Chain A
Amino acid sequence: MTALTSTQISMGQRVTAPLRRLSRDLSQRTTLKIGLAIVLGWVLVALLAPWISPYDPVYQDLTTRLAPMSWAHPMGTDNFGRDILSRVIYSARVDLQICLLGVIFPFIIGTVLGTFSGYIGGWCDAIVMRLIDIVLAFPFLVLMLAIITILGPGLSSFFIAMALVGWVSYARLVRARVLVLKQSDFVLAARSLGYSHSRIICKHLLPNVLTDAVVFSMSDVVLVLLNGAAISYLGLGVQPPVAEWGVMVTEGQGFITTAWWLTAFPGLAIVLLAVGFSFIADGLSENRGGTQ
């Protein structure tokens, strides 16, 4: 009976292994599910922004300045009479872009440098490690500000600065993993089969390393998001009148005692997206611990 059911199950599961694993993870891990739902929700909001936002995010209606929440303006309006809900919705586009690009460049640079540094060792390792030391010698935000100041304010400067500073954590993480895996038995076995170094790196090391980097990137995304908000808050990131949560918080701070909704709603939006990413990070690392 049990044998029968198990064969039935195995016949039913003629899906490829990664898909099967993903579906199992999704069905078991509530944290991961909630996180994915929140982030996907924001992605939807960003994609559908022109259709779901009630007003133009930069349209100023000076007759309804600082209006509190009402049916016409569910989140109120700001000091220029712009609808906060619409601005929060449109901000999702900018902030998701910050999350994606702010993580992907450090991720790629860090993974590549970390892999080479760990695998090749010697002078290559020495150079990369000294570079890391240099970057780490400065406080994170100060270095970011310095780079952005040199490049001039704006989002692209922010991404460049993020790439120049953020790769360090990825490189260190990946390097440490590669150092361990390089000595591992299956890499030795792969070498004994006559595989080339590039093949060993791409097919045997990277897939094992990437999972760690991806899990880390999910928690890194939160930091990047907050950084983006902080940089915009300091006036070096997104420039007004473009809607971005950090900018909105900055603009609203002068009215925080009289019109709290100017800062509260964009702030909540940041928190919600950040929580979504943290949940994904938790879910991913949790299920790695569970399956291995």
Chain B
Amino acid sequence: MSPLLTVDSLTITTRAGLNLVDQVSFSLAPGEMLGLVGESGSGKTLTCRALLQLLPEGALQITGGRVDFDGRDLLRLSPREMRQLRGAGVGMIFQNPSTHINPLMTIGQQMAESLRLRGRLSRKEIRARSVSLLEQVGIPSPEQRLDSHAHEFSGGMRQRAMIAIALACSPRVLIADEPTTALDVTVQAQILKLLDGLRREHGLSIIMITHDLGVVAQTCDRVAVLYGGRICEIAATADLLKHPAHPYTRGLIACQPHANVNAQGPLTTIAGAPPTAEEMPAGCRFHPRCPDAQRRCQTRQPVVHDVAQESGHRVACHYPLQRLIHRELDHE
């Protein structure tokens, strides 16, 4: 299947000339859910905001790359074209639904606003559409809830409402920016199930930004791991979790509390802290924290290359684990 959205060597630079997102490439097929995983500051959110050109004005700039969506380069659209694409082409939902919904408008008003932008509808049609959207996202008694304000909803319901508002524009790609981080675990599972259902039933493509590999394991088809604004590894979820090729990915998996059931003792952590934009290490950005780092890692930036061509497993590491393992086996 040809991809719906292709991001090719996207680079985002600060005014001071620091690359916060550096040469990030990935693609998204119709109906696919792609996870973007990384620590805070790894550039997940920036990458996705750049797709919609919603970067903080003046402070950050897209300095390179292409974003192809449905045969058009998003980075070359006029502001007007971009606006038409936002919502309708690519929608976005956010981590904190309580602050991302206008406190003064009812849910119904906000959905109506989106619906009206997409075409001429009568008041009745808008109401019917809104009710069915709220039903679709699993909000009970939607008729009454239309007239509620965001503060009258619980956290989970608010997130559902925000999804409904985004869906009102009928987007083809939905960017979910840590949609479950602010929610408790049971509600989290419900929201993930909802997103998964939307994808299966309506062929919605979803980019799921998260720092939680557990979320990824439950829902995503493929995962891209970001570190310091660069892609470390991109692979099918099962592949990545079972055979991580990048030491950072391995570290992340080891940090998951439930990923190492057999392990005894305290939880594993990755030593050190993620680099800041001002102090990006040369060479591989992960090398100061990498247990397998060699001299080459300190000076030369690894390029993203295939680990296993047929499965699309790609990694940016001079000494990918998959090959290392093979070597160790060879020695024995």
Contacts and interface: CB of A to CB of B under 8 A. Distances in A.
B101 interface: yes
Interface residues on A, range: 20 to 34
Interface in A181-227: 183-186, 188-196, 199, 203-204, 207-208
B102 A193 contact: no
B325 interface: no
Contact of B147 (A17, A194, A207): A17
B104 interface: yes
A195 B52 contact: no
A203 B87 contact: no
In this complex, the member of B86, B102, B113 whose beta carbon has the largest number of chain A beta carbons within 10 angstroms is B102
Given A191-B54, A193-B91, A193-B169, A186 B103 contact: yes
Contacts of A188: 54, 94, 100
Nearest to B82: A194
Contacts of A208: 102-104
Interface string B75-110: 000000001111110011010100111111110000
B162 interface: yes
Interface string B162-194: 100110010000000000000000000000000
Interface residues of B, number: 31
Nearest to A14: B147
A197 B149 CA distance: 23
B85 A194 contact: yes
Contact of B113 (A17, A183, A195, A207): A195
Contacts of B169: 193-194
A185 B86 contact: no
A16 B101 CA distance: 19
A193 B101 contact: no
Contacts of B106: 17
B180 to A, nearest CB: 17
B104 A185 contact: no
Nearest to B52: A192
Chain A interface SS verdict (over half):
helix
B165 A193 contact: yes
Given A17-B147, A208-B104, A192 B99 contact: no
B267 interface: no
B84 A185 contact: no
Contacts of B99: 184-186
Contacts of B105: 203-204, 207
B27 interface: no
A185 B94 CA distance: 9
B147 A189 contact: no
Nearest to A18: B104
In this complex, the member of A184, A191, A203, A204 whose beta carbon has the largest number of chain B beta carbons within 10 angstroms is A191
B114 interface: yes
Interface in A6-21: 16-17
A5 B56 CA distance: 48
Contacts of B263: none
B117 interface: yes
A23 B172 CA distance: 44
Given A189-B101, A189-B162, A194 B86 contact: yes
Contact of B114 (A17, A193, A196, A207): A193
Contacts of A186: 99-103
Contacts of B85: 194
Interface in B236-256: none
A185 B96 contact: yes
A204 B102 contact: yes
Interface string A158-198: 00000000000000000000000001111011111111100
Contacts of B114: 193
B117 A195 contact: yes
Interface in B103-140: 103-106, 113-114, 117
A229 B281 CA distance: 69
B179 to A, nearest CB: 12
Contacts of A192: 52, 54, 86-87, 91-92, 166
B17 to A, nearest CB: 22
Nearest to A186: B102
Interface in A237-259: none
Contacts of A196: 83
B113 A191 contact: no
A93 B106 CA distance: 40
A163 B146 CA distance: 41
Contacts of B100: 185-186, 188-189
A194 B74 CA distance: 14
A121 B57 CA distance: 10
Contacts of B92: 189, 192
Nearest to A189: B100
A191 B101 CA distance: 12
Given A189-B101, A207-B104, A194 B96 contact: no
B113 A203 contact: yes
Nearest to A192: B92
Contact of B87 (A121, A183, A193, A204): A193
22 contacts: A17-B147, A121-B57, A185-B99, A185-B100, A186-B99, A186-B102, A188-B100, A191-B86, A192-B52, A192-B91, A192-B92, A193-B91, A193-B166, A194-B87, A195-B87, A195-B117, A196-B83, A199-B113, A204-B102, A204-B105, A207-B104, A208-B103
Interface of A: 16-17, 121, 183-186, 188-196, 199, 203-204, 207-208
Instruction: Pick the 9 closest A-B CB pairs, nearest first.
Output: A194-B87, A194-B86, A192-B92, A193-B87, A185-B99, A189-B100, A185-B100, A186-B102, A207-B104
Given A186-B102, A208-B103, 5 more contacts: A185-B96, A189-B165, A192-B86, A192-B87, A195-B83
